[in-house]
Amino acid sequence: MRYMPEPFKIKMVEPIKMTTREERKAFIRDAHYNAFSLSAEDVYIDLQTDSGTGSMSDSQWGAMMRGDESYSGGRSYYRLIEAGKEIFGYDYIQPVHQGRAAEKILFPLIVTPGQYVISNMFFDTTRAHVGLAGGRAIDCVCPEGLDSGAYFDFKGNMDVPRLKSLIAEHGAENIAAIVMTITNNSVGGQPVSMANMRETAAVAKEHGILVVIDAARYAENAFFIKEREAEFADATPIEITREMFSHGDVFTMSAKKDALVNMGGLLAVRENGPLVDAIKTRVISFEGYLTYGGLAGRDLEAMTTGLYEGLDHDYLTYRIGQMQYLAARLTADGIPFQNPVGGHAVFVDAGKLLPHIPYDQFPGQALTVELYIEAGIRGCDIGSYMMDRDPETGEQQRAPFEFTRLAIPRRVYTQAHLDVVADALKAIKDRADGITGYQITWEPKVLRHFTSHLKPVD
Ligand SMILES: *Cc1c(COP(=O)(O)O)cnc(C)c1O
């Protein structure tokens, strides 16, 4: 249970407010028991997401001063393109304002309504954009990924035998794309092996199906490959990254994760061709001119520097080490979680911790509320509450698992903060029997978990 010391020192601090349990009970009630509706000021340790919540380095802040704010052809744009080509090896690299902007631009260009898109597991916005383009999203993660108690090195992998049978069942011409999410966010930030990426790409090639990499956590995935796949033990994270991306045709990326910026994204195509021309037209309509893509020149500078910092081996050792430290503390206290821990978060198995709460009373959301009341910690449900209703029948869909995700922002919290989290979970475990489920009192039609209202079940 060793904590990996930080490979940095702290140059600027942001005070956080301390609150009482009584105050927190009122805050979460006023937020309709939806943690997204809390004021961030009233949160002590914010583990809602690792997206855009990291600390930038002094090099990134320094680079921002050199941002070229020209409308077209700015120096900062060329610096980003050069880095993108070096790291990913793609012909066309397009900055966009965040990951879902890349999805919005791409999916209508590659999906014909009625077609299927198959992924090792869709992230919620990616699933939504497939649906908005008229496509049908199918999750196809390996069976180990859905068994939170079982150890497996690469729980994020595509289930390749099932992928083959889905292609045989629906016909390759009815499959618009295969989306490889690295790391596999929805099953716990679990890595995908290089062997699995090679195999999936070979199946896609055999059937002429496009491979899209959903690449938010490319660096964490590369680190796991280095640690766990013997062939890559001596390779650098950049070398591993280059091979990973060689197994895709297109990638969408939220740069708010491993690229260590607060806002930004990329959309890239391996080989120049008609898709690139179509992308350019949509980028100009939705994001802005090609050489800034919805970002300021200074944002492009921060992203370029962040792309390299995110791949630094010492940084990645510390980063994954934080997850492993928290996981070891939970193991010691008998708290169930997606094991082994993934790259950006601990996914506590709320279904197992609160077995008396049925899926349609949202155990992951119940634990999220309880963590806030216990210690001002904000997590996020990744379970049935996060699933939208079945678009055809309106029925509550059942997620294959009920997690509360505790996502760790990059370079933000210390060992003592992680200890507060572990202590809070232990306290909740000791009074688990008295915790009730939740029901929805108001919800929008899509992506409901962001804005729904809930109340405790009587
Ligand atoms: C965050 C994320 C996205 C969406 O990116 P945003 O920057 O939040 O729009 C897409 N896919 C995955 C796997 C993600 O983690």
Residue whose CA is closest, atom 8 of ligand 1?
99
pLDDT recorded at residue 266: 98
Nearest atom (ligand 1) to Cα of 264? 7
pLDDT recorded at residue 301: 98
336 close to ligand 1 (CB < 6 Angstrom): no
- Rounded Cα distance between 401 and 399, Å, is 5
pLDDT recorded at residue 182: 98
Do 280 and 391 lie in a common domain? no
Element (H, E) at 46: strand 45-46
pLDDT recorded at residue 388: 79
Give me the amino acid identity at 130: V
Do 113 and 44 lie in a common domain? no
Residue 123 CA to ligand 1 center (angstroms) comes to: 7
pLDDT recorded at residue 204: 98
- Rounded Cα distance between 167 and 22, Å, is 55
126 close to ligand 1 (CB < 6 Angstrom): yes
- Distances in Å between the Cα of 4 and the Cα atoms of 193, 233, 321, 325, 405 are 24, 20, 6, 8, 22
Do 221 and 296 lie in a common domain? yes
pLDDT recorded at residue 391: 78
Residue whose CA is closest, atom 14 of ligand 1?
216
- Rounded Cα distance between 258 and 51, Å, is 9
- Give the pair of three-digit tokens for residue 186: 């929805």
Do 359 and 274 lie in a common domain? no
34 close to ligand 1 (CB < 6 Angstrom): no
Residue 75 CA to ligand 1 center (angstroms) comes to: 27
Do 71 and 46 lie in a common domain? no
Residue 102 CA to ligand 1 center (angstroms) comes to: 10
Residue-number span of the structural domain to which 148 is assigned: 58-309
Residue 255 CA to ligand 1 center (angstroms) comes to: 8
189 close to ligand 1 (CB < 6 Angstrom): no
Cβ–Cβ under 8 Å, residues 93 and 105: no
User: Of the candidates 221, 228, 174, which has an alpha carbon nearest to the alpha carbon of residue 197?
Assistant: 221
pLDDT recorded at residue 323: 96
220 close to ligand 1 (CB < 6 Angstrom): no
* CATH number of the domain to which 266 belongs: 3.40.640.10
User: Of the candidates 159, 150, 154, 194, which has an alpha carbon nearest to the alpha carbon of residue 178?
Assistant: 159
User: Of the candidates 262, 217, 255, which has an alpha carbon nearest to the alpha carbon of residue 53?
Assistant: 262
The answer as to whether 329 is a domain residue is: yes
Last residue within a domain, chosen from 309, 326, 345: 309
The answer as to whether 255 is a domain residue is: yes
Do 157 and 96 lie in a common domain? yes
Look-up of token digits 């990951």: 99
Last residue within a domain, chosen from 309, 335, 370: 309
pLDDT recorded at residue 174: 98
Nearest atom (ligand 1) to Cα of 255? 7
258 close to ligand 1 (CB < 6 Angstrom): no
Do 281 and 155 lie in a common domain? yes
Do 96 and 198 lie in a common domain? yes
Look-up of token digits 């379970």: 383
Instruction: Please write the tens of the pLDDT for every residue from 136-187.
Output: 999 999 999 998 888 999 999 999 999 999 999 999 999 999 999 999 998 8
Residue 50 CA to ligand 1 center (angstroms) comes to: 10
How far from the centroid of its chain's Cα atoms is residue 346's Cα?
12
pLDDT recorded at residue 392: 85
* CATH number of the domain to which 375 belongs: 3.90.1150.10
Q: Which residues of the chain have pLDDT under 70?
A: none
State which of 49, 51, 182, 192 you would mutate to test the pocket of ligand 1, scoring each by most atoms of that ligand within 8 A of its C-beta: 51
Number of structural domains (the chain) is 2
pLDDT recorded at residue 233: 98
Nearest atom (ligand 1) to Cα of 52? 7
Element (H, E) at 59: helix 58-64
Do 395 and 299 lie in a common domain? no
Q: What share of the chain is helix, strand, coil (3-state, %, to 5)?
A: 45, 15, 40
Q: What are the beta bridge partners of residue 93?
A: 268
Last residue within a domain, chosen from 309, 340, 355: 309
pLDDT recorded at residue 93: 98
The answer as to whether 407 is a domain residue is: yes
Q: What φ, ψ does residue 71 adopt, rounded to 5°?
A: -65, -45
Residue 141 CA to ligand 1 center (angstroms) comes to: 18
Catalytic residues: 71, 123-124, 214, 216, 257, 449
pLDDT recorded at residue 381: 95
pLDDT recorded at residue 387: 84
State which of 50, 180, 185 you would mutate to test the pocket of ligand 1, scoring each by most atoms of that ligand within 8 A of its C-beta: 185
State which of 36, 106, 254 you would mutate to test the pocket of ligand 1, scoring each by most atoms of that ligand within 8 A of its C-beta: 254
